[in-house]
Amino acid sequence: MIFIAILIGCILGALIGMNAPMISYTYSSYLAIAVIAALDSVFGGINSVINKNFDLKIFVTGFFGNAILAILLTILGQKLNVDIYLAAIVVFVGRMFINLAMIRRYFVDKWIKAFEERKNRKSKKEEKIEAKTEEN
């Protein structure tokens, strides 16, 4: 169910984004920062789901709040003539890598466990079969 919602959201977003009017190139840096912030939030959310401490309120506020904050910081940086967006990118992308690493570790662990379980089961079955043949 949730995957259908995500799929519909993605398709709708892509369609509307394709047909949306062009935004001036000047503002594209703000948009890029917002995208990075949102992506960071998404990976953070996935990570928290894995760790079973996912909170919808925190996710939503983080998703939009981080994006808006990143945009505001970028604007402030341009006003101050400091490239603050570089700091934002470093932080967000660094966190994205950390979250991705957590996710990867979780799935790797899961797969290894599943693999071992199957192996164990298989060996147990073999033992059983062996025992049965011995009985026979």
Q: Which of residues 64-103 bind other proteins (CB under 8 A)?
A: 64
User: CB under 8 A: which stretch of 52-60, 91-99, 112-120, 127-135 binds other proteins?
Assistant: 52-60
CB of 16 to other proteins, least distance (A): 6
Q: Does 25 bind other proteins (CB under 8 A)?
A: yes
HEC per residue, the chain: CHHHHHHHHHHHHHHHHHHCCCCCHHHHHHHHHHHHHHHHHHHHHHHHHHCCCCCHHHHHHHHHHHHHHHHHHHHHHHHHCCCHHHHHHHHHHHHHHHHHHHHHHHHHHHHHHHHHHHHHHHHHHHHHHHHHHHHC
- Give how many residues touch other proteins by CB under 8 A: 33
Q: By C-beta, is 57 or 132 nearer to other proteins? A: 57
Q: Which residues bind other proteins (CB under 8 A)?
A: 1-2, 5-6, 8-10, 12-14, 16-18, 20, 22-26, 28, 31-32, 34-35, 38-39, 41-42, 56, 59-60, 63-64
